[in-house]
């Protein structure tokens, strides 16, 4: 700090001495001193202007060359600039990380100003609502989403609950529902969150349908049993009628027991781990067991008048849960027995596939299935002919069990059917589950 006064003193003294040496007036020294001081002030102002210009427009790594106190000002300013730049870079990096996290969110995020103009949005929100996340910035949100429910929600100012609208990809037969929830923050700004709730609504609809179907399936046999119990309690019926009523009651009780058993099987399949590959079972053993069960069922429902054939099959070993495989194979054969008219032919067997996998198949000469029903056969309680299914004792869950077992073993279920010519149901297993002897 003492350097500037010394510079001023030196310039003033030098100017005064030079003026006294070369001047011819007694005031020459004073004038020279003033001139020296003025020169120093001018030079100091030039240095100050260079520093000020650098502060306004310069770069921290290219400071001006100045001396005296201005050099210290420049150095301290340069260090301050570098510290601020480091903080700014860190803040920018944190901001970019935060924005990247929001971009990766499965939910949509939009920032709206007080005029409902889009200030920022992530890709998910743009996909949900059908606009471009970059091109449509600074656009009014009401100009991009014209759903009447959303417009009313936006204008109401009551954002306690979300509003639901159809998504961009919705069309007949392919629903898409988007939930929008607005939160107010700052000075009139709004945070808008979007969420695809299509799967949630579909799951809820499936749950309602499932409960309704189970209730309907159980109510019918319960009504029959309750009616016969009331009859037996209040009427004096003969031995023959009593025996007939009891037989019908036993039939309906068995129907309810079968339904509960299938429901428990589905629950167990959905809640248990995937079967490992440490347990191997011979395909011929599985085939012999399920064919024997199918023949016993045919004796009950058609007096054994089905021709049930276990076709010659390659010697295979299958990795998986024996009980699950038996359940799936047995369901396919029991369906064939129930829906094939007496005298019809049912063939079952295994075949090796070219890729190293294997396939269990059941072919029948039944009435066949129309093409529009095939995609829905594995839905729970879905029936092509409801009245005939109940007559044959089906629960509507058999093919759902088959599909789950196939998927749990890495395979799939497929159906080929021609109306009037019969059907073929197949369970295909991958090479990792098959060993060819």
Per-residue pLDDT, 180: 92
Per-residue pLDDT, 43: 72
Structure tokens at 354: 């070219």
Max CA-CA distance within the chain?
160
Per-residue pLDDT, 348: 95
- In degrees rounded to 5, what are phi and psi of residue 164? -115, 135
Q: Do domains 105-196 and 273-436 have the same CATH topology?
A: no
Residue labelled with tokens 């991009």: 144
CATH 3.30.565.10 fits 273-436, yes or no: yes
Spans of all domains in the chain:
3-97, 105-196, 202-272, 273-436
202-272: CATH topology is Helix Hairpins (1.10.287)
Per-residue pLDDT, 194: 92
Which residues touch 29 (CB under 8 Å, ≥6 apart)? 16, 17, 19, 20, 23
Structure tokens at 160: 């306690």
Compute the distance between CA of residue 363 and CA of residue 311 in angstroms, rounded to an integer: 11
- Whether 129 and 122 have beta carbons less than 8 Å apart is answered as no
> Which is the CATH superfamily of the domain at 105-196?
PAS domain (3.30.450.20)
- Whether 339 and 302 have beta carbons less than 8 Å apart is answered as no
pTM of the shown model: 0.55
For residue 105, what is the DSSP state?
-
SS3 391: helix
Compute the distance between CA of residue 290 and CA of residue 265 in angstroms, rounded to an integer: 17
Tens-level pLDDT at each residue, the chain (437 residues) = 566 666 656 666 676 666 666 666 556 666 666 776 677 677 767 777 776 776 776 565 566 666 666 666 766 777 777 777 788 888 888 878 877 878 888 889 999 998 999 998 898 888 888 888 888 888 999 888 888 999 999 988 889 999 988 887 777 767 888 999 999 998 889 999 999 888 887 777 777 777 777 777 778 778 888 888 888 888 888 888 888 888 888 878 877 887 888 788 877 777 778 888 778 999 999 999 999 999 988 887 778 788 999 999 888 999 998 989 999 999 999 889 988 988 899 999 999 999 999 999 999 998 888 888 888 888 877 777 655 545 555 667 888 889 999 999 999 999 999 888 899 999 999 999 998 87
- In degrees rounded to 5, what are phi and psi of residue 354? -65, -30
CA angle 81, 82, 84 (to 5 degrees): 65
Compute the distance between CA of residue 5 and CA of residue 13 in angstroms, rounded to an integer: 12
Q: Is 373 exposed, middle or buried (0-12, 13-18, 19+ CB in 10 A)?
A: middle
């Amino acid at each position: 700090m003492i350097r500037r006064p010394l510079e001023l003193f030196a310039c003033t003294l030098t100017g005064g001495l030079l003026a006294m040496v070369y001047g011819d007036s007694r005031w020459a020294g004073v004038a020279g001193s003033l001139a020296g001081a003025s020169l120093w002030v001018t030079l100091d102002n030039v240095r100050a202007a260079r520093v000020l210009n650098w502060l306004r427009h310069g770069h921290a790594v290219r400071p001006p060359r100045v001396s005296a106190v201005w050099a210290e000002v420049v150095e301290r300013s340069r260090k301050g600039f570098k510290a601020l730049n480091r903080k700014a870079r860190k803040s920018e990096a944190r901001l970019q990380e935060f924005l990247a996290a929001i971009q990766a969110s499965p939910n949509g995020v939009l920032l709206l100003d007080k005029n409902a103009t889009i200030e920022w949005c992530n890709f998910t929100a743009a996909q949900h609502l059908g606009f471009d996340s970059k091109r449509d910035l600074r656009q009014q949100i009401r100009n991009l989403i014209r759903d009447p429910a959303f417009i009313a929600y936006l204008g109401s100012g009551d954002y306690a609950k979300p509003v639901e609208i159809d998504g961009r990809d919705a069309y007949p037969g392919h629903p898409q529902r988007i939930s929008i929830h607005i939160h107010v923050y700052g000075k009139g700004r709004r945070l808008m969150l979007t969420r695809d709730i299509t799967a949630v609504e579909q799951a809820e609809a499936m749950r309602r349908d499932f409960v309704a179907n189970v209730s309907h399936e159980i109510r019918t046999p319960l009504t029959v049993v309750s009616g016969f119990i009331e009859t037996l309690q209040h009427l004096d019926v003969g031995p023959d009628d009593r025996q007939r009523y009891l037989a019908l009651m036993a039939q309906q009780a068995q129907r309810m027991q079968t339904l509960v058993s299938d429901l428990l099987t589905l629950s167990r399949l959905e809640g248990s781990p995937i079967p490992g590959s440490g347990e191997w079972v011979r395909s011929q053993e599985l085939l012999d067991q399920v064919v024997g069960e199918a023949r016993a069922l045919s004796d009950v429902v058609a007096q054994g008048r089905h021709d049930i054939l276990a076709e010659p099959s390659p010697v295979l070993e299958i990795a998986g849960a024996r009980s699950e495989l038996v359940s799936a194979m047995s369901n396919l054969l029991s369906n064939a027995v129930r829906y094939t008219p007496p005298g019809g032919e049912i063939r079952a067997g295994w075949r090796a596939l070219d890729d190293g996998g294997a396939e269990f198949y059941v072919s029948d000469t039944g009435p066949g299935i129309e093409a529009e029903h095939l995609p829905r056969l594995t839905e729970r309680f879905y029936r092509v002919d409801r009245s005939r299914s109940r007559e044959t004792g089906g629960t509507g869950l058999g093919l759902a069990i088959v599909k789950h077992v196939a998927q749990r073993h890495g395979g799939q279920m497929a159906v080929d059917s021609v109306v009037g010519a019969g059907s073929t149901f197949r369970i295909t297993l991958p090479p990792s589950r098959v060993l060819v002897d």
